[in-house]
Amino acid sequence: MRDTNRTMAIGNATNTVCRRRFLKYGLAAAVFQAAVSATRGAESKSTNVLPPYTKRTLIAHRGASAEAPEHTLAAYELALKYGSDFVEPDLQMTKDEVLVCLHDTTLERTTNVAQVFPDRFVETKGRKTWPVVSFKLEEIKKLDAGSWKDRRFAGAKVPTFQEMIDLVKGKAGIIPETKAPEVYGNYGLNMEKALVETLRSNTLDALNSNPKTPVIIQSFSASSLKALRTEYGCRLPIVFLFGSGNYSKEQLTGIKEFADGIAPNKTVVLDHPEIVNDAHALGMSVTVWTFRAGQTSGFQSVREEMSHFLQQLKVDAVFTDNPDQFPRD
């Protein structure tokens, strides 16, 4: 009996200890489990995107350029209206060294330069072109950069990079591309210096200097990106653009020496889906271009195409002409 009682007492004591332990460690385990679940929840929300991104990211390519003329304030405003995380300006330079937002090195595709300045062309390969670098800003400001897209946009101007910043700062991130910087170098103009100075004067030159307007720099020019890092001490995130071609892991290692992320076009990722994991394994983000309605590589819609790249192929960010079609979680 005594033994039984003892046993019971021991049993009770054991039960009490167990209960206490359960309460103590069970509670701890529950707290731990909750923490794990919360972490998993956070992971699934962010779906493991790599810095500088914090979620699957929408970049408005040349603004909302499917609807409004590319690289006009109207296109950038529309991109903001659609909740773009970043707005993209491609950068060119005027003769008087002002950064302007334009995709081409010449003005004739997206402005009425041929009408306004009919004699100011240069002949290249039997074709008349009007290089941006041949014109001062005040001349470029005389051009209509909207009518080519639609008469509704008649009178839209080529914006300076500063005007683009004034519109977007505080509302979204900015991802400027140094476009054909070597061309400007040939004229003694320094695009990287101008870019860094503009960012600095807007207090956008350091990581997290404006949480509402993170800045990422992109280029097809490795030497431009290297110059930004080494000559100008740029510590902003940098992504390297490249198009179709053969892919090897070794290429990524080389890119990592001067960039934080890769930005291949869609074809590279479709042909080599392993590139995403390979880049992520090296700590590099993957930004893919360019998603546009009507060019959807066999997908039913641009939304479906972006969804495939973001959810199945696990890319971190997409450039799109159609920011209104971005698939949100």
Query: Which residues form the interface with ligand G3P (CB under 6 A)?
Result: 61, 90, 103, 177, 218, 241, 289-290, 319
Shortest approach of Ca ion to residue 175 CB, angstroms?
Answer: 8
Shortest approach of Ca ion to residue 103 CB, angstroms?
Answer: 7
Shortest approach of ligand G3P to residue 239 CB, angstroms?
Answer: 9
**Which listed option, ligand G3P, Ca ion, none, makes contact with residue 303 (CB within 5 to 8 Å by class)?**
none
Shortest approach of Ca ion to residue 318 CB, angstroms?
Answer: 13
Q: DSSP characters for 15-51? A: HHHHHHHIIIIIHHHHHHHHHHHHHHHHHHHHTTPPT
- The packing angle between helices 161-168 and 73-81, to 10°, is 20
Nearest of 216, 217, 272 to residue 243 by alpha carbon:
272
> What binding mask, one character per residue, do residues 56-95 give for Ca ion by CB under 5 A, x or -?
----------------------------------x-----
**249: Cβ contacts below 8 Å, ≥ 6 apart:** 278
**Which listed option, ligand G3P, Ca ion, none, makes contact with residue 290 (CB within 5 to 8 Å by class)?**
ligand G3P
**Which listed option, ligand G3P, Ca ion, none, makes contact with residue 326 (CB within 5 to 8 Å by class)?**
none
Parallel, antiparallel, or unpaired for β 261-264 and 90-93? Answer: unpaired
Distances (CA, A) of 109 to 97, 104, 125, 127, 320: 21, 8, 16, 13, 20
Distance CA 98, CA 60 (A): 23
**180-185: long-range contacts (C-beta < 8 A, 24 or more apart)?**
180/92, 180/105, 180/221, 181/219, 181/221, 181/223, 181/224, 182/221, 182/223, 182/224, 183/105, 183/133, 184/92, 184/93, 184/133
Residue nearer to Ca ion on the CB measure, 215 or 278: 215
- Report if residue 104 touches Ca ion, rule: CB under 5 A: no
Shortest approach of ligand G3P to residue 289 CB, angstroms?
Answer: 4
CB atoms within 10 A of CB 248: 11
Residue nearer to ligand G3P on the CB measure, 16 or 297: 297
> What binding mask, one character per residue, do residues 142-181 give for Ca ion by CB under 5 A, x or -?
-----------------------------------x----
Determine contact, residues 172/166, Cβ cutoff 8 Å.
no
Shortest approach of Ca ion to residue 325 CB, angstroms?
Answer: 19
Residue nearer to Ca ion on the CB measure, 224 or 278: 224
Residue nearer to Ca ion on the CB measure, 181 or 278: 181
Shortest approach of ligand G3P to residue 218 CB, angstroms?
Answer: 5
**Which listed option, Ca ion, ligand G3P, none, makes contact with residue 305 (CB within 5 to 8 Å by class)?**
none
Residue nearer to Ca ion on the CB measure, 307 or 320: 320
CB atoms within 10 A of CB 178: 26
H or E element in which residue 262 lies:
strand 261-264
Name the 3-class secondary structure at 193: helix
Give first-to-last CA distance, the chain, whole Å: 66
Shortest approach of Ca ion to residue 290 CB, angstroms?
Answer: 8
Which residue's Cβ lies closest to ligand G3P?
A: 289
Residue ranges that bind Ca ion, judged by CB under 5 A: 90, 177
